[in-house]
Structure 1
Amino acid sequence: MSNLAEVIKGAMSLDVRDRAMRAEKLLASLEELSEEEAERLWAEEAQRRLEEYRAGRAKGVEAGAVHAKVDKLFR
């Protein structure tokens, strides 16, 4: 199989309808994950984000700021 960069490059060369159709299929495939697989992936993502934060490559956001942004978005 091609590497990810090649796959993305190929997908980006498609017309918008074909890209949308492939995006929809990819997103639908995520719905098919088992609960255990989904939990494992979320745990890996949480670990990655923690490492980014500890290394100073990501900043924390206060909960109040997050709540205010959510309130603004859903008004």
Structure 2
Amino acid sequence: MTVQTMEIMDVVDSLPIDMKLELIDHLLQSISPPQSEVDDAWSAEVERRIDEVESGKVKLIPMEEVRERMRKRYRK
């Protein structure tokens, strides 16, 4: 940890809880993409997967086959 970071941490430690919570919220928002970007990314992923299924690039596995594989894999 740098000296500057340690100094910031000392200041943060002295803050009242409500200010710490505001700071936490600000920091999280500054490092996390906005929810709309996440939603857009998931929408694109869903569309990509649908396209792969519809084009025949990937083959779906019937549910009963999935269950049987899981039973075999996790049988005690």
Report the TM-score when normalising by structure 2: 0.42
Higher helix share: 2
